[in-house]
A and B are shown apart, each in its own frame.
Chain A
Amino acid sequence: MTHALTTENLEVVFNRFRALRAVSIDVAPGESFGLVGESGSGKSTLLRAVAGLAPVSGGTITVNGKTLGSKRTKAFYREVQMVFQDPYGSLHPRQTVDRLLLEPLAVHGFGDIEKRILRALDEVGLGSSFRFRYSHQLSGGQRQRVAIARALILEPSIVLLDEPTSALDASVQAEVLNLLEQIRRDRKLTFLMVSHDLAVITHMCDRLMVMQNGAEVERLTAAELTKRKVSQDYTRNLLIASQGFVRPEVPAGG
């Protein structure tokens, strides 16, 4: 079986700082794979290296059986699309939703533009009334839906998700996570998703990797995490931290 996405001993170096240390992952077609860690753990760097946004200094990346060179081709971006964390920063402030969705279609020479834009908006639960709005006229959740529509409009097979809901309110997060899950099911997409939130990753992914200081800490299935079958202290600490604040026992009444 060919994997949808693999990295082997991937290294990323910024100046002399090793941001990624020999990281290997393999993601099967249709699988959802999660990367968890704190800031500086290299989880986003791994995603960006795959997308061609971080300098790879060693190791290989293979997408659908093809090993990538240092330059990403247009064909690559048809297969692999990315959704960024901050919907306030990732949409052009002076382009309407229509223009934002048109751009990738024009770049890749798609036909049927009218139909595709309407379908993309419909798929992410935004009516055609949103088509000629600017991004500042949208809420955070609506913006993230536009960003998802823009990623999906090229019909990629792999979607890279960099903290897609961490800038959103809890209730909006639930809606966007449900949307992502449904789209993945309908289109049989492969997800590589980054989050600092263990609960979000466990909810969305079949398997996950915990990262720290640019390296792998351990790899788990979502089921193992739910059963607390973890072998590393670091993962255990993350699990404890995700439960919220625990007031230490205070002597003399507290």
Chain B
Amino acid sequence: MSTMLDVEDLRVQFPTRTGVVDAVRGVSFTLGRERLGIVGESGSGKSQTGRAIMGLTPPHARITAKTLNFDGIDLLTASVKERRALRGNRIAMILQDPKYSLNPVMSIGRQIVETLRTHEKVSKAEARRRALDMLTAVQIRDPERVYDLHPHEVSGGMGQRAMIAMMLITGPELLIADEPTSALDVTVQLDVLRILDNLVRDRGMGLIFISHDLRLVSSFCDRVIVMYAGRIVEEIAARDLHMAKHPYTRGLLNCMPQIDNDRHPLPVLDRKPEWAA
């Protein structure tokens, strides 16, 4: 499997008034054309890892790494212009809540066309046709109608599908999905995942799926990285998750209520300081 993304010893630091906050502390992994899950709780650094790869870290933060390489391009030394050419074109990102991540005063169709025409020289008519095709590909039944709707006029599931359409229209090689379904109902969640799954497979993309939901990620991805306090505590094949060794991973799996397993009280995580060491 060819490596597309190579991350070695990635660190993200935020200087604050009260000292430096280490959000990501030495994360290393490689990614080929596969589905990689990054799991962790709030503050574990999972989102900041994704944002650093995407180049969306706030300017006052400090990013360092031994290697941060996407398909031969050194992302650390790439100019702003080079990063902009990659972002949205070869590397795309899906965010959590379509209510906040879509432009509220622009129709869905125009937003998709805007993304396309930023990265490719296509005529308006051609762009419209491709946007409609993309809306069809994310299984929106009446693309002509949805094209002219504004984000507040569609449901959360439909909004998230529009978001996926917008991100995939440029044919990216790497897709970073940061909690793409956490704002959706469970049944809608599965619809959106199914669409995402098909597109990732058909187009041979690499996918980084960032989520707090260990069970969902393991049912969707090939490989899972578990993060705690800015570090990777465990990396495991998704199908071997039940054999996870690290007490944090096991604790996370164990503390969720299960329909078939009635336990009172629920086991709670006993956080050990050495996990964060």
Interface positions of A (Cβ within 8 A of B) = 38-39, 140, 169-175, 177-178, 181-182, 196-200, 202-204, 225-226, 237-239, 241-248, 250, 254
Contact = CB atoms under 8 A, between A and B. Distances in A.
A242 B42 contact: no
Nearest to A182: B265
12 contacts: A39-B156, A170-B252, A171-B41, A171-B268, A174-B266, A178-B266, A196-B186, A199-B256, A226-B260, A238-B187, A246-B219, A254-B201
Nearest to A41: B185
A241 B187 contact: yes
Given A171-B41, A202-B259, A245-B190, A38 B185 contact: yes
B41 A169 contact: yes
A38 B42 CA distance: 24
Nearest to A239: B259
A170 B256 contact: yes
Given A38-B187, A196-B186, A244-B216, A169 B42 contact: yes
A246 B193 CA distance: 10
B267 A174 contact: yes
A39 B184 CA distance: 9
B257 interface: yes
A181 B264 contact: yes
B269 A171 contact: yes
A169 B212 contact: yes
B216 A242 contact: no
A244 B266 contact: no
A32 B266 CA distance: 17
B183 to A, nearest CB: 10
A248 B265 contact: no
A226 B267 CA distance: 19
Nearest to B183: A39
Nearest to A223: B262
A245 B212 CA distance: 15
* Best-surrounded residue of A199, A237, A244, A250 (most CB of chain B within 10 A): A244
Contacts of B185: 38-39, 196
Contacts of B190: 241, 245
Interface string B180-224: 000001111110011001000100000000001111101110000
A238 B186 contact: yes
Nearest to B181: A245
Given A39-B185, A243-B219, A247-B219, 12 more contacts: A38-B187, A140-B42, A170-B212, A178-B266, A200-B257, A202-B259, A203-B266, A238-B187, A239-B259, A241-B187, A244-B219, A245-B220
A252 to B, nearest CB: 11
Interface of B: 41-42, 156, 185-190, 193-194, 197, 201, 212-216, 218-220, 251-252, 255-260, 262, 264-269
B267 A170 contact: no
Given A140-B42, A169-B42, A174-B256, A241 B186 contact: yes
A171 B255 contact: yes
A181 B266 CA distance: 10
A165 to B, nearest CB: 10
Given A39-B185, A174-B256, A250 B216 contact: no
A178 B219 CA distance: 27
Contacts of B216: 244-245
Nearest to B219: A244
A242 B220 contact: no
Nearest to A167: B42
A111 B41 CA distance: 41
Contacts of B213: 170
A174 B259 contact: no
A248 B266 contact: no
Nearest to B190: A241
A177 B251 contact: no
A248 B194 contact: yes
A170 to B, nearest CB: 5
A199 B257 contact: yes
A130 B214 CA distance: 31
Contact of A181 (B156, B218, B259, B265): B265
A243 B260 CA distance: 11
B257 A177 contact: yes
B214 to A, nearest CB: 7
B220 to A, nearest CB: 5
Contacts of B262: 202-203, 226
B41 A170 contact: yes
* Best-surrounded residue of A38, A171, A254 (most CB of chain B within 10 A): A171
B269 A174 contact: yes
Contacts of B255: 170-171, 173-174
Contacts of A174: 255-257, 266-269
B252 A171 contact: yes
